[in-house]
Chain A
Amino acid sequence: MNEIIVALAIGVLTASGTWLLLRPRTFQVIIGLSLLSYAVNLFIVAMGRLKVDAAPIVVAGAVPDPAAFSDPLPQALVLTAIVIGFAMTALLLVVLLAARGLTGTDHVDGQKDEAR
Chain B
Amino acid sequence: MTSWVDHLPVVPVVLPLMTGALLLLVDERRHTFKALISVVSLCLLLIAAFALIRSVDASQTHVYRLGNWPAPFGIVLVADRLAAMMVLLVAILGMAALLFSLARWDRAGPRMHALLQFLLMGLNGAFLTGDLFNLFVFFELFLAASYGLALHASGSARVRASLHYIVVNLVASLLFLIGVSLLYAVAGTLNMADLALRAAAIAPQDRALFEIGAAILAIAFLVKAGMWPLCFWLPSTYAAAAAPAAAMFAILSKVGIYAVLRIWLLLFGETSGASAGFGAAALVYGGLVTLAFGAIGVLASQHLTHVAGFSLLVSAGTLLAAIGAGQAAVTAAALYYLVVSTLGVSALYLLIELVERTRGPGADVLAVTAEEFGDAYAEPEPIEETGLAIPGAMAVLGLSFTACALLLAGLPPLPGFLAKFALLAALLGADSVAASAWVMLLLLTLAGLAAIIALGRAGVRIFWASHEPHIPRVRPIEIAPIALLLALCIALTLQAGAVMRYVRDAADTLHTPRAYIREVLPSR
A interface vs B, CB < 8 Å?
21, 26, 29, 33, 36-37, 40, 43-44, 47-49, 73-74, 77, 80-81, 84, 87-88, 91-92, 95-96, 98-99, 102-103, 108-110
| CB pair A102 B177 closer than 8 Å | no
Give the CA-CA distance A37 to B173 in the complex, in Å. Answer: 10
B interface vs A, CB < 8 Å?
133, 137, 140, 144, 147, 151, 154-156, 159-160, 162-164, 166-167, 170-171, 173-174, 177-178, 180-182, 184-185, 190
| CB pair A99 B178 closer than 8 Å | no
- The listed residue with most A CB atoms (<10 A of its CB), out of B133, B167, B180, is B167
B155 contacts across to A, CB distance below 8 A: 102
B137 contacts across to A, CB distance below 8 A: 80, 84
| CB pair A36 B171 closer than 8 Å | yes
Contact partner of B171 among A21, A102, A103, CB < 8 A? A21
| CB pair A88 B170 closer than 8 Å | yes
| CB pair A95 B163 closer than 8 Å | yes
Closest to B161 in A: A110
Contact partner of A95 among B151, B174, B177, CB < 8 A? B151
| CB pair A40 B174 closer than 8 Å | yes
Closest to B154 in A: A98
| CB pair B177 A88 closer than 8 Å | no
| CB pair A87 B144 closer than 8 Å | yes
Main secondary structure of the interface of A (DSSP, over half): helix
Contact partner of B140 among A21, A88, A95, CB < 8 A? A88
| CB pair A33 B181 closer than 8 Å | no
In the complex, how many angstroms separate the beta carbon of B220 from the nearest chain A beta carbon?
12
| CB pair A102 B156 closer than 8 Å | yes
Give the CA-CA distance A37 to B174 in the complex, in Å. Answer: 7
In the complex, how many angstroms separate the beta carbon of B143 from the nearest chain A beta carbon?
8
Closest to B147 in A: A91
Give the CA-CA distance A21 to B174 in the complex, in Å. Answer: 13
| CB pair B181 A47 closer than 8 Å | yes
| CB pair A33 B163 closer than 8 Å | no
| CB pair B177 A81 closer than 8 Å | yes
| CB pair B163 A108 closer than 8 Å | yes
| CB pair B163 A99 closer than 8 Å | yes
| CB pair A99 B181 closer than 8 Å | no
Give the CA-CA distance A33 to B185 in the complex, in Å. Answer: 24
B151 contacts across to A, CB distance below 8 A: 95, 98
Give the CA-CA distance A97 to B173 in the complex, in Å. Answer: 22
28 residue pairs A–B, Cβ–Cβ below 8 Å:
A29-B167, A33-B167, A36-B171, A40-B178, A43-B177, A43-B181, A44-B181, A47-B182, A48-B184, A49-B185, A73-B190, A74-B184, A77-B180, A84-B140, A87-B144, A88-B166, A88-B170, A88-B173, A92-B163, A92-B167, A95-B147, A95-B159, A95-B163, A96-B163, A99-B160, A103-B156, A110-B156, A110-B160
| CB pair B177 A44 closer than 8 Å | yes
Contact (A33, B170) CB under 8 Å given A47-B182, A47-B184, A74-B181: yes
B180 contacts across to A, CB distance below 8 A: 77
* Contacts beyond the supplied A47-B184, A88-B140, A98-B151: 12 A-B pairs with Cβ under 8 Å: A49-B185, A77-B181, A80-B133, A88-B166, A88-B173, A91-B166, A95-B147, A95-B151, A95-B159, A95-B166, A102-B154, A110-B156
